[in-house]
Chains A and B, each alone.
Chain A
Amino acid sequence: MIIEVASLEKIFRVHRRQPGVRASLRGLARRDYDTVRAVEDVSFTIEAGEVVGFLGPNGAGKTTTLKCLAGLLHPTSGSVRVFGHDPARRERAFLERITLVMGQRNQMFWDLPAMETFLVNQAIYRIPEDEFRRTLEDLVDLLALTDLLTKQVRTLSLGERMRCELAAALLHRPAVLFLDEPTLGLDVNGQVAVRSFIGDYSRRTGATVLLTSHYMADVTALAHRVLVIDRGRLRHDGELQALVEATAPYRLLRLTLSEDVPLSALSHLGDLDCPVDGQSVVLRVPRADVTRVAAEALATLPVADLAIEEAPIEDIISAVFAGG
């Protein structure tokens, strides 16, 4: 067992401040605090080599949990163990085996070429020269960094920078990767590149990966197991497929029609997901019936284009929350 979290709780005190000059003045003397329970009674364990996705809306407690695991936050109560270490003590043996990547945050030397950051990390993590060369070669290969190494970081595009960021974070071959929204803000190509790299990396090295993301595709592509967190509580822990089927027992059938069709011709195929927009229609179809309904639609309707999609992650999550 690499990661053990038992009854984790994290409470913040935040300063409450009313708008207005008078309230600001009063705030100088006396402050009102609100208690925010960012994480409550969260327990789970993760085995070596697992790739686990964290799902939840903004402010659900994903990042707080991740920071507790990385040792940046001290739990209010409960216990966290990573390789048997208490992360908050930030022992060297612990720090040398983990890494944290945050999307849209930069931990590289902004005005220097990426290579400089890599060299500093080599020194800080005491990576022997030949191992450094080998790892770097691999990473340059996998992430297509060849042309980027000698460019100043600030001149890189967001996607290029994220790839360099990942390389910098992985040079010391950490056994555990904490990835907080690693694809945030990237275009589709960038998302795919980062996603497939993370998958490859965990398969090749057996690294354990904990990943938070807004993008369902990140999670579907990488994680077999998901932890769903809402308002600080763990709502689901298990296989992704089970979560999707249990909470979204339907899929979406997106039809583009070449001519107008009366609503009655559609309604027997499935529920309309949203109002008909011109000749574009989205139907909710029970998971088991998707193939049959799609075939029927193609046979009976003037279909120009047809796509089968999973329900958006927000819908699935809100279904979980409604059920929880």
Chain B
Amino acid sequence: MGEVAALTSAYRGLLRVAVVQALTYRAQLVIWLLSSLFPLIMMTVWLSVVDQSGPAAGWDRSDFISYYVAAAVLFHLTTGDLAWNWDRDMRSGDLSFRLLKPVSPVHHHLAMDIGLVSVTAALLVPVALVATVVLDSLRYPIGPGTFVLFLVAVVLGFAVSFAMALTFAMGTFWSTQTANLYYLWWGAGAFLSGWVAPVSVLPEPLQRAAHVLPFRSVLGFPLELLLGRLDAGQIATGFAVGLAWLVGLIVVQQALWHRGIVRYQAVGG
């Protein structure tokens, strides 16, 4: 009980400063938003492909446009800065200071990521909403029920993405190469998450892998929900896979955290 009250209090303060901080780094924010260029580049090529050879795996012009525009926005709602921030904390020794606070560093970083995501969401979502209303090509044919499910899937995607980054971040207790390792993981995942292309246009073996690995929960699954391409069974499976990974990652992360702290205390902060 006291623990909950303490966390609530800490989050109030941390979220506030996270938002202030995100707004302070305006230039970085704009650059961060520039990474949305990549899906739009991918999209233009698909449009050329569709113009030449007809729909690809059942995806037509408007499908690709709807998918990639949503992907450009959703990427910023489910992806934070944790891997990078944690690595920096470790190198600079700031982790020592965070460990002296009565609130775990994990909460500090979670609050920072939520702050970043909230600010980008506040900038991007209104633009996306207006674009959806104005542009004919953007079609998200779902009812309010599925839309609520979509929102839940976005939160789950954020959680899975954070848990992946956090689990890798624990590696910093043992190795200085952890950030690079995470980039590899993320890079491999970019194919299976739907960042490079919708999962259903990938070769069959990759599709099968994508449906059991955690990456699709972060991007592809919520996007397919939003495009109304999933039936009830697929939706249930998607949530189940995401939740299972979330729980699994948290278990692994907790185990690593406790060992990592002992190691950190053994070798020096």
Name A residues whose Cβ lies closer than 8 Å to a Cβ of B. Answer: 12-13, 64, 67, 70-74, 88, 90, 92, 95-96, 98-100, 105, 107, 109, 111-112, 116-117, 119-126
Contacts and interface: CB of A to CB of B under 8 A. Distances in A.
B54 interface: no
B13 A123 contact: yes
Listed from nearest, the 8 A-B pairs whose CB atoms lie closest are A123-B13, A74-B265, A95-B102, A107-B97, A72-B269, A120-B13, A92-B102, A124-B10
A109 B111 CA distance: 14
B98 to A, nearest CB: 9
16 contacts: A67-B269, A72-B99, A73-B266, A92-B6, A99-B100, A105-B93, A111-B21, A112-B20, A112-B24, A116-B17, A117-B17, A120-B13, A120-B14, A120-B17, A124-B101, A126-B5
A109 B10 contact: no
A126 B6 contact: yes
B97 A100 contact: yes
A125 B101 CA distance: 8
A109 B112 CA distance: 12
A187 B205 CA distance: 66
Contacts of B102: 92, 95-96, 124-125
B267 interface: yes
B252 interface: no
B107 to A, nearest CB: 9
B100 A70 contact: yes
B259 interface: no
B85 interface: no
Contacts of B12: 123
Contact of A123 (B9, B25, B269): B9
Nearest to B23: A112
A12 B13 CA distance: 37
B267 to A, nearest CB: 7
A88 B93 contact: no
Nearest to B3: A92
A124 B102 CA distance: 7
A100 B100 contact: yes
Contacts of A95: 100-102
Nearest to B100: A100
A70 B98 CA distance: 12
B13 A112 contact: no
B16 interface: yes
A61 to B, nearest CB: 12
A48 to B, nearest CB: 21
B136 to A, nearest CB: 43
Contacts of B5: 126
A132 B103 CA distance: 18
A72 B266 CA distance: 9
Given A72-B99, A117-B17, A120-B16, 11 more contacts: A70-B100, A72-B96, A72-B265, A73-B268, A88-B265, A92-B6, A111-B24, A122-B13, A124-B10, A124-B103, A126-B10
B192 to A, nearest CB: 32
Interface centre among B24, B262, B265 (most CB of A within 10 A): B265
Contacts of A123: 9-14, 16
B9 A126 contact: yes
